[in-house]
Structure 1
Amino acid sequence: MTGTPERIRVLIADDQPLVRRGLALILAPDPAFEVVAEADDGQQAVDLAHRHRPHVVVMDIRMPVLDGVQATERITRELPACRVLALSTFDMDEYVVAALRAGASGFLPKDVSPEELSAAVRTVHTGEAAVAPRLLTRLISTYVTTPHRPQSPPSVPVSDPGELTPREIEVWHLLATGLDNAEIASAMGISVSTVKNYITSIFAKLSVRDRAQAVIAAYESGLVEARSTNPAG
């Protein structure tokens, strides 16, 4: 007899009651999800995350008391099994990069469709990054090297990139310039499954948790430069 799959436990954090309720109404009817709590500021999100242990927190990044970036950093540090999906009013928002630095596994604009929201929650729950590769690269290339950005946690700590093999560095570079796995496979003449194996190894060697942090690390290490697709050096 096959058991019922575990529902994805979701906490929604947004200081606007209508937005918060709307997100809950999108997810709650789907039997794959269970909305376990709603928070109206970042501190409450942290407290409720500890109390309810959600699988995914859907987090507005601009909130009072404790903003979404700081709340994301605390939740991902204190509850490492919990994934955070950041919400922003705008696609191009430097606070989104701050949230990705802090440990968010992806982001969505607030005008996202119900189908996109559901798909993104499922994606981050599996440990993948819920953000289009080229949009992720465009965001990071715009804001990572910007001198005036909001106060945020320290840059993503990575291990020595010198531990990577030349082939892994090539995959890392292509990933950072916005290619998805199929495009990397085509560019290198290898299979998608081989690309996935390389990426798993890259994440482990760099001590990053997902694609978003790997892209940030590539820009901060100088592997790629802002608004450039050529390797540094």
Structure 2
Amino acid sequence: MITIKDLNKNFGKKEVLKNINLKIEKQDHIALIGYNGSGKTTLIKLILDLLTTKKGKIEINNLNIKDNKFNLKNICYISNENDLPENMRVVTYVDYILKLTLGRENKLTELSELFNFDIYSSTLIRDLSTGMRQKLKICTSLCFEQDLYIFDEITSGLDPVSKTKLINYINTELITKTVIYCSHILEEIVEVCSKAIILNQKQISDVITINDKDKFINQYNQSFDIGDLNHE
């Protein structure tokens, strides 16, 4: 599904990622974890071709992401970044999304009911709370049917009930999909992922198979300082 070879990334003279080699198989649910500033989001943005580098190669389904035949529209990406059109009303934004997802209105309605979000609200997006903005992004992104889903701190701002619903959704509706799950919250990672990739000192320092919570935390603690993460 995803193959990364000899990937390096610098911002000016600052080295951010060094010699990243990674293979993610189809239907894998992979966690990407590390300190703030460890390069997690940079790696994700390189996979999405939102950032570029001259050193290394990324392939998805055997296609180089720089290839003209590669289509990023086949990837669902949800982050906690404030990247919605703030001056647009919710209903207007939803109408725009529906034009891109012909035949997916029922799916969008299903998601809005699951997360208790009014997709026909006339509220300006800028007036939504952080949690409600995140719900809007989740509903309007998950209504697309994709093979690869990349989630970067996707539960940020969500209430506990919505977090649980989202994790259950990933574990049922996306069970046959490939998922990259970036989070500081180890409990979520244990629920969602079968393997964790540890980014430390600009490199992949460890890859841990997740069998059960206690074993995973013990293994993680050996390769990284668990106490310094935002562990809940």
Q: TM-score, normalised by structure 1?
A: 0.33
Larger helix proportion of the pair: 1
Q: TM-score, normalised by structure 2?
A: 0.33
Larger strand proportion of the pair: 2
